[in-house]
Amino acid sequence: MVQIYKAPLKDMKFLIRDFINSESNKIYKNSNIEQNDLEMILDEAAKLCEEILLPINQSGDIEGCKLEHGIVSTPKGFKEAYKNFTENGWQGVSVNEKYGGQNLPYFLNMFLDEMISSSNMSFGLYPGLTSNAIEAIEKNASEDIKNLYLPKLASGEWSGTMNLTEPQCGTDLGLTKTMATPQKDGSYKLTGTKIFITCGEHDLSKNIIHLVLAKTPNAPKGIKGISLFIVPKIIPNSDGTLGENNSLECGSIEKKMGINASPTCVMHYNEATGWLIGDLNKGMKAMFIMMNGARLMVGVQGLGMAEIAYQSALHYAKERLQGRSLNGSKSLDKQADPILVHPEIRKNLLKIKTLTEGLRGLMAWTGLQVDIAKIEKDKFNKQNADDWVSLMTPIIKSFATDVGCEATNLAVQIYGGHGYIKDHGIEQLVRDARIAPIYEGTNGIQALDLVGRKMPMHTGRLLKSFFHEVKEYIEKNSFNYNLKDFMPLLIKSYTRLQQVTAFIAAEGLKDPDEAAGAAVDYLKMFALVSIGYVWTKYAEISFNKLNNDPEGFYKAKIESGKYYMTKLLPETGSLMSSILSGAKSYNKYNDEYFDLGFKI
């Protein structure tokens, strides 16, 4: 038996047709695309993921990537899969038509990224990093650079990376040592070493375009002195043909816990030729565009891993016969009942299912705001959409990747001993999912971003994009009888979140460590309430659709939502208690006490 995955097309189409339909009309009016076209594209994407990417997921993990003489070779089947991916235009799904893309909605691209992550997370990193590089170049580079590089990147003929981390600096990029020396012709010579560079070298694309953070001579200290440069593996000629090799190389690839079919490289730049992207000493501003896109993508990876974990575990729970139901056998014709009858199995499956479906809606709504911000002409509406995306980016990145890890671990638990061995591929899901809470800024960093930057930004304006929307929804639906099992629980958790927000804001002014200490719990609480809001909206929609529900899809949505609201959302209570108790128990803990018990 291998990993089980079928793209959740019904759920995705529910989100397009019912959940974001009214708002997405703006998107359709701004393009030549229609709702039916989006659904057909999803159908084709599902075939790609189920038939081409999933079959090489476990074999790619086992074979891994190999580095010989500076060249990285990818596992068997990856070249053919990448060729299929690029020739069918998947790399340019959301890229501007000016550069050869299809200019399709961002929320559609999120669905595509989820399917790819479920079926083959390692493969998804190759085109995923390219998409983020495209966005950074389009928003910051000169017209000459955009016209030269973007068509090749949009087609997938060339791929992209981001080079931030160095041996001595990860989160603290102000410690960057890579140096960029200006040349008379306007180019720069870059020298330095970057580590943890995903897909920094491989054999899938004809050229690899590196976006590299570096300092210039006499630049200001810290992050204020960092600039962003475009450094191609092979220097292109002005007509886009490939010229001479650049002076950079992959020194090694990491031996990793997971995502083994994607190379994580140590990159050496030896006076490599590069060109400035954006303004001098403003590299962090330009790179944050790429990083924020990457953070949303990583959140989608967490969702994708949770989805395949759920489907695989559900399949096993239906097939595996062990014991009998405590309320009487359900399968008298068999030696034992399927383990699906047991309460703990059902509870674990429902936990994964409801977190996954709720997160998918939150992500789709956030992706829609990305699209609205691009086309909206009204300044207030545009600002509100941008604020929503900025607020939700650390929440989605962090919580969704935590869910991905929890879901894959629960899947192993459901499989039991068969999950721990390699045959079924479930232990691979655990290993692959584990990187997502770490890269593109650890989840602890995301929580600090939420509390330290997003909460006070513009005197709390970003928070209002969420609080005002939910408040209006509550006021509108408080007396909706259909929502009697949903609305009181949403109101209670929403009120808790408001109280905790005020507490953290006040305590943080007196002692920043108090706010920092509460950050992780606060982010989780925010995520749970956000998903509770999504499930309440699902229920409202579903009650109105029950008269035309032959398969029971909408009935299942309502019942799933009841599980989430009664079993998972109440965790906001314990999180609130933890936050209100303050951070002194660990912030004021004597450092010497950590050593006691084993120090001699």
Name the residue type at position 136: A
Residues with catalytic function = 440
**Cβ atoms 127, 192 nearer than 8 A:** no
95-112 core/surface letters (b: 16 or more CB in 10 A; e: else)? bbeebbbbbbbbbbbbbb
Q: Which residues contact 595 (CB under 8 A, 6 or more apart)?
A: none
Q: 280: which residues sit within 8 A by CB, 6+ positions away?
A: 216, 219, 227
- Residue 437: φ, ψ to 5°: -70, -5
Sign of the alpha-carbon torsion through 416, 418, 420, 425? negative
CA angle 18, 22, 24 (to 5 degrees): 95
Distance (Å, rounded) from C-alpha 230 to C-alpha 235? 10
The distance of Cα 130 from the centroid of its chain, to the nearest Å, equals 15
71 strand-pairing partners: 68
Is there a contact between 383 and 390 (Cβ–Cβ < 8 Å)? Answer: no
378 three-class SS: coil
For 586, other C-beta atoms within 10 Å of its C-beta total: 9
Separation between Cα atoms, residue 35 and residue 214, nearest integer Å = 44
- CB contact at 8 A, 121 and 99: no
Q: How far apart are CA 432 and CA 409, in angstroms?
A: 11
Q: How many whole angstroms separate alpha carbon 319 and alpha carbon 316?
A: 5
Helical pair 512-543 and 461-477, crossing angle rounded to 10 deg: 30
